[in-house]
A and B are shown apart, each in its own frame.
Chain A
Amino acid sequence: MRTLGLITATVLVWLAMPAARADADPLPSRPITFGDGRVVVSGDVAMSFGTADEGYFNLYDYSHDAFNALTMSLSAEVRATDRIGFVALITDEISLRGRGSDPSDRHIVYPYALYVRVRPTDRPFTILGGRIPPVFGGFARRDYGEVNALIGLPLAYGYSTTMRPEPPPSRRELVLNRGGGWAVRYPRATAETGPQGLPLVSARRWDTGVSAQWDGSKVQAGVAVTVGTLASPRTEDDNGGKQISGRVGVTPSASVNVGVSASSGEYLADAGRSTDYGTVGWLPEPARSTTHRQQALGLDAEYSLGHVVVRGEVVASRWDVPFLNGDPTLQLDALGSSIETRVALTPRWSVAARGDRLGFSRVTATDGVVRSWDAPVRRVEGAVGYLVRRNVRLKASYQYNWRSGGRERTIGMAGAQLLYWF
């Protein structure tokens, strides 16, 4: 692990050193093209190193957190014709902290995007099919890590709640696990359903399906039908249900963009619904044969002018949650909201800050105590960015988290991140 840290530090310093001459730069600074410009390949590297996230506030999964990860992505676009193109983005993610017993868990490669893009006419109407970018919300639709002025993700997009794509044993067990979304203690159905809880919207995985999008200068609209849900995007369908999601955005002036989003999809996995949980038993009828949905509404807005950008976003999610002990199905709500700003001080220096909240609706546990079904979280994060070159950015960030439950209730995180892209 020390060796890995040394390598990381060396690479960080090497990448951060300004080149003596731009044309002496050994790293490419623009996409690589083949086939008369029809094949374009570009790449991204993001290396973050910081405080160990003992409170599991920034965990992508059990082995990876935003402050301690090396992420390398390679994207390619093949323009078969002027109307049809194929897009792929493969991501290689390496944990820079020694969490996770199996080393293979700390190094994962997965297809982030893989889709065909069809633009039938010269109008800004596009159809995508495959593992496609989301149409919901604002944050997840941004390109490339360099657009995120901070290291952490908004809570709605990256924080693991205690919700899983399977039924909790009871309301009491659900409430007892408040703040433990990274590894809920009650037994999970299969490895398929995963060890960690779901975020409101996953910014790490894209869903599989078809979308149609209108990208006009004043009005943008998109609708998608996919096999997973916002919280649990899927490569393969795990329950036979489909999610429909959409967003309508308006740009009344170049300074302002406002969008509203909605989605509804079945989130409970068949593996979680139709499993013998041993001592807890099976999910009783009628819950076992009922559709359980995640429904969400989103509002996103961006204002920019001069050297200032301000973004705000609210995501409200509702899950239909059945219980193994036969408690009535509940509708559990979560509300994530964030506001962030980035100010360019000089051509090289910028500062950014984000304030974040994640709250949960209240339930009456079996013992009669009324509590929120997960522990509310608040977060502030500030960062300073330095543009070493056009395609190399260095960030230093500090993040502080508060949580009303769980093992670690507060934690301050300091970290640095280096981004390179071509």
Chain B
Amino acid sequence: MSRRAVPSPAFVLIALALAAASLGLVHAAAPPRAVATGTIRGTVTLPATAPGRRPSVSRPGGTSAADRQQDALDRQTSVVYLDNMPRGMAGEFIERKARLDQRGQRFVPHVVAIGVGGTVDFPNSDPFFHNVFSLADVKSFDLGRYATGKSKTVRFDKPGLVRVFCDIHAHMSAFIFVFAHPYFDVTDGQGRYRIDGVPAGTHALVLWNETIEPETRQVVVPDGGEVEMNFTVAASPAPQ
């Protein structure tokens, strides 16, 4: 006859106490129960024209083939995200680590997105100084001038949009999105995005691109399925 292991009353009491205590914490840090989720994916189609670079009047200037060439990272320019944390969900965000390279007098990529508590590295790959700084309420910082091969890291503890500049090169700028939830994605070089694990139901999905006003659409995520939401952006200047 087999004997089943029976937990002692003390163990049960401790386990119950821990479970009860942890419920309150879990409520703010992870889904309290298993929820049905789905995926939002799609493509963002943008006009070909990129924002212009401020003319340098007193420098020789001009562009080389290397200056004109944009790689896939350069074309990561849009962010798609849920406007609000889905009801009943909380936390479980990913503290992503991102990298904003300073290369060819550009920040590459132009847009990155991380979760609250995430960090961004700012390596300098140009053979001259850059000086990264931001005046954003979310995170204000000034990394000073540093040379080729050096990198500095900034941690972001509040959600919001952080615009980043170079104090030396006025035409350089980039955007860092800091989210308090995991439901976001930056488009890839082909404009594609994919957000997995979205709770089934109706959500407000936002497209952000620096050249337009943010566009919000309602999207219904099926239980265990995928929904495709494509955006086509007309060329229209938006103030920044």
Contact = CB atoms under 8 A, between A and B. Distances in A.
**Do A and B make up one complex?**
yes
Contacts of B170: 143-144, 146, 391, 421
A344 B49 contact: no
Contact of A344 (B127, B144, B165): B144
Contacts of A344: 131, 133, 142, 144, 167
A36 interface: yes
B239 A28 contact: yes
Interface centre among B52, B127, B147, B163 (most CB of A within 10 A): B52
A87 B55 contact: yes
A82 B237 CA distance: 24
Contacts of A146: 170
A407 to B, nearest CB: 35
Interface string B164-198: 01010011010000000000000000000000000
A221 B234 CA distance: 44
A344 B59 CA distance: 24
Chain A: number of interface residues, binned into ranges: 35 or more
Given A22-B163, A348-B135, A390-B135, A117 B54 contact: no
A198 to B, nearest CB: 21
A387 B141 CA distance: 13
A23 B144 contact: no
Given A31-B55, A82-B68, A387-B135, A304 B165 contact: no
B64 interface: yes
Interface string A83-98: 1010101000000000
Interface stretch (A251-259, A275-283, A356-364): A251-259
Chain B: number of interface residues, binned into ranges: 35 or more
Interface in A117-167: 117-119, 122-124, 126, 128, 133, 140-144, 146
B66 A133 contact: no
A274 interface: no
B236 interface: no
A304 B133 contact: no
Interface string B36-61: 00000000000011111111111111
Interface in A51-104: 75-77, 79, 82-83, 85, 87, 89
Interface centre among A24, A42, A141, A217 (most CB of B within 10 A): A42
A254 B148 contact: yes
B97 to A, nearest CB: 23
Contacts of B50: 37
B217 interface: no
Contacts of A22: 163, 239-240
A254 B62 contact: no
A30 B129 contact: no
Interface in A17-31: 22-26, 28-31
A118 B147 CA distance: 30
Contacts of A40: 52-55
Contacts of A141: 58-59
Contacts of B57: 75, 87, 89, 112-113, 133, 143-144
B144 A33 contact: no
Contacts of A30: 51-52, 54, 173, 240
Contacts of B22: none
A215 interface: yes
Contact of B60 (A28, A117, A309): A117
A3 interface: no
Contacts of B27: none
B11 interface: no
Contacts of A421: 54, 170
B34 interface: no
B67 to A, nearest CB: 9
Contact of B129 (A37, A79, A85, A304): A304
A307 B163 CA distance: 20
Nearest to A132: B58
A368 interface: no
B128 A254 contact: yes
A32 interface: yes
Nearest to A146: B170
Interface in B120-175: 127-129, 131, 133-135, 140-142, 144-148, 163, 165, 167, 170-171, 173
A119 B60 CA distance: 9
A172 interface: no
A170 interface: no
Given A23-B213, A306-B145, A307-B142, A76 B64 contact: no
B63 A119 contact: yes
A286 interface: no
Contacts of A222: 60
A305 interface: yes
Contacts of A309: 145
Contacts of B20: none
Given A28-B239, A344-B144, A85 B62 contact: yes
B65 interface: yes
A119 B49 contact: no
Interface string A235-276: 000000000000000010111000000000000000000000
23 contacts: A30-B240, A31-B52, A31-B171, A82-B63, A82-B68, A83-B62, A85-B61, A87-B57, A89-B57, A117-B62, A119-B60, A126-B60, A126-B61, A133-B58, A143-B56, A213-B60, A215-B60, A307-B142, A344-B167, A346-B142, A389-B135, A421-B54, A422-B54
Given A23-B238, A253-B147, A255-B147, 10 more contacts: A30-B52, A76-B55, A82-B65, A82-B68, A217-B128, A304-B129, A306-B146, A347-B134, A390-B173, A391-B170
**What 7 A-B pairs come out closest when comparing CB atoms?**
A119-B62, A33-B52, A77-B55, A126-B60, A254-B147, A306-B144, A40-B52
